[in-house]
Amino acid sequence: MTRTRTFVLIGVVVALLIAGVGSYYASSSPDGLEATAAEQGFGDTARDSAAAGSPLADYQASGVDDERLSGGLAGVTGVLLVLVLAGGLTLVLRRRSTEPTTAQPTDATAGTH
């Protein structure tokens, strides 16, 4: 059990470091879809999505002026949200699978009527 916890903890720390620090070095160039749309001449027809005004839109944390810090915070927030959702789902499913099931007849009583 200790090995599993250590492994999970190391995984969480690595994910947070990649999201927080790795995003500092991420490219500021448009992604492939945006670059292709601009190259093909229809990039100006794009519209904002319904989530454009959300706190983590465009991989940035709203309210943070430093662009690199904002991207790192958005990445760390995303990792933490996924961990909370996955952890909650795991706990719910684990509880459901450990609930006692109805008693099955034993071999001695199965054939008697």
Give the C-alpha separation, 56 to 63, whole Å.
10
Name residue, tokens 């915070």: 73
pLDDT of 112: 59
pLDDT of 32: 82
Kindly report the pTM of this predicted structure: 0.67
> Mind listing the pLDDT tens digit of every residue in the chain (113 residues)?
789 999 999 999 999 999 999 887 877 776 788 888 889 999 888 888 888 889 988 888 999 999 889 989 999 999 999 999 999 999 999 887 776 666 566 666 555 55
Domain ranges within the chain, ordered by starting residue? 54-98
Radius of gyration of the chain measured on its C-alpha atoms: 24
Tens digit of pLDDT for each residue in 81-113? 999 999 999 999 988 777 666 656 666 655 555
